[in-house]
């Protein structure tokens, strides 16, 4: 249900940004609002509190965001609150940000390696990803996981390329167990 809500509202925000030709500014504002929501959990608790009237929540929203973000963004958040969907606000903005990144051909990759990569290695990986994907720009998040032993795991959206030695050893072990069981 939450995915449907975030998609519905995120698509509406995207369409508004396209119509008003302000995709870049709405993208920047969405990231700013999302960061504000994530760094201030008390604000979320206040906005989700059942005993606080909707009118009071709207007033708080105006005081916090009016003049800091566009009227379109404030208006959008007002609609979300009026529809009692503030609890899904972060997911809505995450969906919108992802949709804009797809539109702008910005890929998001999560790369896990057993050791930290140096800048040359990172540049080589980025260059290779740009050459083998339809993206024109790549946002890469690196993570170190020593259990991988060697190789790397690359995740872009729902695609995963796992060339880690840990996975290769697990696959080999499974194949050996099949052979052993067959005999």
Residue 151: its pLDDT value, please?
83
Q: What is the pTM of this model?
A: 0.81
Q: Which residues does the chain have with pLDDT short of 50?
A: none
Residue 182: its pLDDT value, please?
60
Residue 2: its pLDDT value, please?
66
C-alpha 67/C-alpha 79 separation (Å) is 18
C-alpha 172/C-alpha 71 separation (Å) is 58
Q: How far is CA 17 from CA 30, 64, 76, 139, 158, in A?
A: 11, 22, 11, 22, 26
Looking up tokens 């975030």 gives: 6
C-alpha 127/C-alpha 12 separation (Å) is 34
């Amino acid at each position: 249900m939450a995915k449907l809500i975030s998609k519905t509202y995120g698509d509406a925000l995207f369409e508004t940004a396209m119509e008003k030709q302000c995709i870049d500014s709405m993208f920047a504002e969405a990231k700013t609002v999302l960061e504000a929501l994530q760094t201030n959990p008390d604000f979320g608790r206040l906005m989700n509190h059942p005993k606080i009237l909707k009118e009071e929540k709207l007033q708080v929203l105006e005081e916090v965001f009016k003049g800091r973000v566009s009227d379109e963004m404030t208006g959008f958040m007002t609609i979300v609150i009026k529809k009692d969907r503030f609890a899904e606000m972060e997911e809505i903005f995450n969906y919108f940000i992802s949709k804009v990144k797809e539109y702008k051909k910005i890929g998001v990759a999560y790369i896990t390696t057993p050791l930290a990569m140096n800048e040359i290695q990172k540049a080589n990986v980025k260059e290779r990803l740009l050459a083998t994907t339809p993206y024109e720009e790549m946002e890469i998040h690196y993570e170190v996981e020593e259990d991988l032993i060697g190789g790397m795991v690359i995740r872009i959206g729902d695609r995963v390329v796992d060339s880690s030695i840990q996975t290769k050893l697990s696959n080999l072990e499974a194949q050996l167990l099949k052979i052993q069981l067959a005999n």
